[in-house]
Amino acid sequence: MKRSGIALLNACGAASAARTLQGRRVTILTYHGVIGGTSDYEYLNHNFISAESFDAQMRYVAEHYQPIALHELVRFYREGRTPPRRSLAVTFDDGFANNFTVAFPILRRHRVPFTVFVTTSLLDVRGELLWTDRAKRALYLCTRTSVVLPLDGIDVALDLSSPAARVNACRDVLGRMKRLPPAMRQAALQTVDGVCGRPPIEEHERERYEFLSWQQVKQMAEAGVEFGSHTVSHPILATLDSDALDMELTRSKQRIEAMLQRECYALAYPNGSPADFGVREKTALRQTGYLCGLSLKGTLNDRPDLFELDRVNVGRHLDMPSFQLAITGVLGTARRTRDWFARSVRSAVGKRRRAS
């Protein structure tokens, strides 16, 4: 839906009506980062919102919802009880340092509890990037207007002649890399670096890319912030063999528990789409001792599978009217309906072509 249409709907009371219709369904929000200063390159920062926007969103949440800690929500579901109306939980993925320096003071001011899912191998490591960020930066900031990348035995020609073309190239390459096993993904990442270069992180970008230190994690934990696992190295779990899957789940959980001296009961699936985890991964979580797993499909929760609790992603694509509707589940429903309709049309066209 276009922003103008969403603004008109909200002016007519759509967000208020949607909150009422939401009933007992629970919203879990996912953030990645909050930036206090300026940021370059809209696409590279699409999951990072400004401190001003985040403050307004948390003020809205505190006024119109019942903020709830994730462990409380899990306890309600485990005990077969219904959470309070308009319950809403806030989470962060990856473990960026701005969760501490920028988001934490805002959340504390609005008395909103939250959970951070950390990628444990990146904490306390200065200058290291999440592999997805590393690939996107290399492609988006490449000085060439086109490149050919040998990926998984296929030469992929990429147009880099405009910002829009660079976005499409990044999405294409990331989509391919996310489906590769770790060793092949690492080889592909080195190929991207070799062809496109590896742009250095400028000083003003550190707030965007640096990860938490364990000291910051401990300080937040002492103040009541919860921490969960986002694995050791952020792989797509469905691409791992059984041994690698066990390592990613077990070592991240053990590291968090050793550092904080408290149970790590929750894991957020990297990427979190339906293609990224399944019965095998959910079973592995349960056997490793986790109590829940969190996805990222954009729906609300109503007595769900605890190993497929769903979340709504919040990035800079959502202005305030869009945010107000997104957290009720309306925008997710509209998107899924649109996607279903588009698939149906493509299927019907394909059948007619084959029949002719």
Question: Using one digit for the tens of pLDDT, what is the confidence trace for 215-270?
Answer: 999 999 999 999 999 999 999 999 999 999 999 999 999 999 999 999 999 999 99
Question: So what's the pLDDT on residue 126?
Answer: 86
**pLDDT tens readout for residues 170-201:** 999 999 999 999 999 999 999 999 999 999 99
Contact partners, residue 66, CB within 8 Å, separation at least 6: 84, 85, 86, 87, 88
Question: So what's the pLDDT on residue 177?
Answer: 95
CA distance 203 to 219: 25
CA distance 346 to 340: 10
CA angle 79, 83, 86 (to 5 degrees): 165
Confidence of residue 127 (pLDDT cuts 50, 70, 90): confident
Residue ranges with strand state E in 36-86: 48-50, 66-67
Q: Which of 32-41, 175-184, 293-302, 324-333 has the lowest mean pLDDT?
A: 324-333
Question: So what's the pLDDT on residue 6?
Answer: 55
Q: Which residue matches tokens 């925008």?
A: 331
CA distance 284 to 288: 6
Question: So what's the pLDDT on residue 293?
Answer: 98
For strands 146-151 and 154-159, give the pairing.
antiparallel
Q: Is this prediction's pTM over 0.85? A: yes
Instruction: Please determine, for residue 307, whether its predicted confidence score (pLDDT) is greater than 90.
Output: yes
Share of the chain above pLDDT 70, in %: 86
Confidence of residue 317 (pLDDT cuts 50, 70, 90): confident
Instruction: Please determine, for residue 287, whether its predicted confidence score (pLDDT) is greater than 60.
Output: yes
Question: So what's the pLDDT on residue 351?
Answer: 60
Q: What is the mean pLDDT of residues 260-286?
A: 97
Q: What is the mean pLDDT of residues 60-82?
A: 96
Share of the chain above pLDDT 90, in %: 78
CA distance 211 to 217: 10
CA angle 103, 126, 182 (to 5 degrees): 95
Question: So what's the pLDDT on residue 268?
Answer: 98
3-class secondary structure per residue, 155-221: EEEEECCCHHHHHHHHHHHHHHHCCCCHHHHHHHHHHHHHHHCCCCCCHHHHHHHCECCHHHHHHHH
For strands 48-50 and 66-67, give the pairing.
unpaired
Collapsed DSSP state (helix, strand, coil) of residue 69: coil
**pLDDT tens readout for residues 144-162:** 999 999 988 899 999 999 9
Question: So what's the pLDDT on residue 277?
Answer: 97
Instruction: Please determine, for residue 31, whether its predicted confidence score (pLDDT) is greater than 90.
Output: yes
